[in-house]
Amino acid sequence: MRVFGLILFLVCTIRVGFGQELNCQVQVIAPTLQSNPMVVEILEQLQTTILEFVNNTQWTSHKYKPEERIDCGILITINSMKGNEEFTGTIQVTSTRPTYNANYASPLLNYRDEAFKFNYQRGAPVIFTPDAHTNNLASVLAYYCYVILALDYDTFSPEGGTEYYNKAKQIVTNAPQGGGWEPGDGRTRYWLVENPTQSLFKGYRKCFYEYHRNGFDLLYSEPEKGIQNILASLKLLNEVQQVNPNSFNMQLFFLAKADEIYSLFKGAEVEDRNKAYNLLVKLDPANLNKYDKMKNGQ
């Protein structure tokens, strides 16, 4: 059995200890505006403020050791400013999960939100109020922190992230309509957290757990069993695809996972490559060219 060359050594994360939950790398850029020294100063302060808000806020009732924090990233690209206080741009959010006994971080989220508008006064802290929408910057940041937690907890216990999906949903409920908070075309913050809490998406949630906890976490010690469990977990997505074809959450799953799945199965046995291919061409046709190469072991 040939398993992809990402598997080395790492100790599994356990949810005990002290400290906040997120280890977030934050970057704020404005490629079309950074020739202005004042803009550069504002962006540097904004970046520091966001970094402190995300990493120093205690988002759960659990206690983490510093080395147990969830690795994640926020990239904010400012496209326009008005009066040095009103900003329009995008926010890209990423997160990963460690793999048991392997020096490999499995991607859970890689999403670029195009509907990002907010106000920020230089030097002002970001203050989040769970029961009210005070400003869009705080709400969007808190929302994605809860999404990161929901995805991560779902990989360690069945539907373990429900509490954090519900916290994110409360932020959506409190937010004004528009600006990415509304149901819209199905690809908004509303659906990102609404879908997983519906019964139709139980297979999606179960896949998240089985894929990571009983799949990737076994690849070092029991590679063949890990491969088979990953294949079985992907089959769970069939029912979601049949009921809700091309749903936002399925798109996000493969946006994060397509390269990982390709790397895993291109070196697997022919029978397993074919099984994976037959599943993936139905679940993720957008990456068909990638899976064609995978099937041929390329």
Does position 26 have pLDDT exceeding 70, yes or no?
Answer: yes
In this predicted model, what pLDDT tens digit does every residue of 155-168 receive, in sequence order? 999 999 999 999 99
Specify the residue for token string 């493969």.
254
CA 43 to CA 268: how far, in whole Å? Answer: 46
- Give how far Cα 158 sits from Cα of 5, 7, 119, 204, 281, Å: 28, 24, 38, 11, 26
What average pLDDT score do residues 2-7 get?
36
Q: What is the pLDDT of residue 11?
A: 28
Specify the long-range contacts of residues 45-49, CB closer than 8 Å, at least 24 apart.
45/122, 45/123, 46/76, 46/120, 46/122, 47/76, 49/120, 49/124, 49/125, 49/126
Q: What is the pLDDT of residue 264?
A: 97
CA 130 to CA 44: how far, in whole Å? Answer: 26
**76 has which bridge partners?**
28, 91
Q: Report the predicted TM-score, pTM, of the whole model to 2 decimal places.
A: 0.92
Residue type for 24, please? C
Tokens encoding 87: 């900003």
Q: What is the pLDDT of residue 39?
A: 86
Q: What is the pLDDT of residue 157?
A: 97
Does position 17 have pLDDT exceeding 90, yes or no?
Answer: no
Domain ranges in the chain are: 1-197, 203-298
Q: What is the pLDDT of residue 33?
A: 86
User: Could you tell me the pLDDT band of residue 12, with boundaries at 50, 70 and 90?
Assistant: very low
Q: What whole-number percentage of the chain has pLDDT above 90?
A: 85
In this predicted model, what pLDDT tens digit does every residue of 223-269 receive, in sequence order? 999 999 999 999 999 999 999 988 999 999 999 999 999 999 999 99
Residue 50: which region, alpha, beta or left (left: phi > 0; alpha: psi -120 to 50)? alpha
Structural contact between residues 249 and 196, judged by C-beta atoms closer than 8 angstroms: yes
| Cα-based angle 285, 190, 50 (whole degrees, multiple of 5) | 100
Q: What whole-number percentage of the chain has pLDDT above 70?
A: 94
Tokens encoding 3: 């398993």
User: Could you tell me the pLDDT band of residue 19, with boundaries at 50, 70 and 90?
Assistant: low
Q: What is the pLDDT of residue 38?
A: 85
User: HEC profile for the chain?
Assistant: CCCCCCCCCCCCCCCCCCCCCEEEEEEEECCCCCCCHHHHHHHHHHHHHHHHHHHHCCCCCCCCCHHHCEEEEEEEEEEEEECCCEEEEEEEEEEEEEECCEEEEEEEEEEEEEEEEEECCCCCCCCCCCCCCCCHHHHHHHHHHHHHHHHHHHHHCCCCCHHHHHHHHHHHHHCCCCCCCCCCCCCCHHHHHHHHHCHHHHHHHHHHHHHHHCCHHHCCCCHHHHHHHHHHHHHCHHHHHHHCCCCHHHHHHHHHHHHHHHHHHCCCCHHHHHHHHHHHHHHCHHHHHHHHHHHCCC
Sequence-ordered list of residues with C-beta below 8 angstroms from that of 112, at least 6 positions apart, any chain: 90, 91, 92
User: Could you tell me the pLDDT band of residue 7, with boundaries at 50, 70 and 90?
Assistant: very low
Does position 140 have pLDDT exceeding 70, yes or no?
Answer: yes
Query: How high does pLDDT run on average in the chain?
Result: 91
Q: What is the pLDDT of residue 15?
A: 35
